[in-house]
Amino acid sequence: MFDNAPHRNCPACASGGAATLAAYSPEDWNVAACEACGFVYLRNPPDYEALKEESAWEKTYEAKKATSRGSTVFSPLARRIRNGLGMYRDKTRAFGRWFNNGHVLDIGCGWGQRIQPPMTPYGIELSTSLHKISDEVMRARGGYCLFGPGAEAIGEFDPEMFDGIVMFSYLEHETQVMDVLKGANRALKPTGAVFIRVPNFGSLNRRVIGPKWCGFRYPDHVNYFTLQSLRDVAGRAGFSVELINRVTLPIDDNISVLLRKSQPL
Ligand SMILES: [Zn+2]
């Protein structure tokens, strides 16, 4: 169903040269490291049309839950440390503080529940069934949800419309990384911030467990970020990066960062 997808260039620097990481390239999938900038990405992802129905994440998530048991050795420890430090205990409160309780866009918003009052929720969702649910939820709270790929739909919002933009378990799915980040720069107020959470390819867990690491999902994870490569793409889109989970990062399966505009594009 996904056979013979064309190989894409590096989503960070657009270079065509990449070295295949054979251990992380099962079946016909080709995960490779860019020879120019080091970014690790799936070179032959399915196109957006296929993702809308065939591997909408709510389905693959259920399948993955059943198969990845035991592949998160260090993550429970990282979670305990985070909770002990009071990090993320209340995401809604953190978002409210970072985003001034204003207009907040959630890209890849799923069921549309992540942005809670008094923030006004806006969304973008690629799954037809989830978009319908989210749009109803968000309209009842003063916002709305657009249907489509994040990198394209973000251009439909007004410039400097948002106090905050959330990319929670989204950017690892997005083939057009630079387009959506540049779109976020355009759609964000100068005082706003972007919260990003992605799997941490640099984690100890991935190094120890290798191909069975919970961050690998074929084909719906198309980018494998380290803190360094996330800083790189954010910088190219005019953002500075503040690391949120700095204490636990080495053993954490995820990276959480807050971006602020360092320059308008
Ligand atoms: Zn590159």
pTM over 0.75: yes
End-to-end CA, the chain: 38
Whether omega before 118 lies within 30 degrees of 0, making that bond cis, reads yes
* Angle value at C-alpha 116, between 112 and 118, nearest 5 degrees: 140
Do 37 and 232 meet the contact criterion of CB atoms below 8 Å apart? yes
Confidence band, pLDDT 50/70/90 cuts, at residue 69: very low
pLDDT tens digits along 131-162:
999 999 999 999 999 999 999 999 999 999 99
Quote the ligand 1 centre to 136 CA distance (angstroms): 39
Q: Average of pLDDT values for 85-107?
A: 83
Domain regions of the chain by residue span: 49-200+227-261
- Evaluate if residue 260 carries a pLDDT over 50: yes
**Bridge partner list, 265:** none
| Cα distance between residue 165 and residue 188, in whole Å | 7
∠ Cα 253 243 180 (to 5°)? 85
At the top level of CATH, the class of 49-200+227-261 is alpha beta
- If one counts every other C-beta atom within 10 angstroms of the C-beta of residue 19, the result is 11
List CB-based neighbours of ion ligand 1 within 5 Å: 10, 12-13, 15, 34, 36-37, 39
Distance 14 CA to ligand 1 centre (A): 6
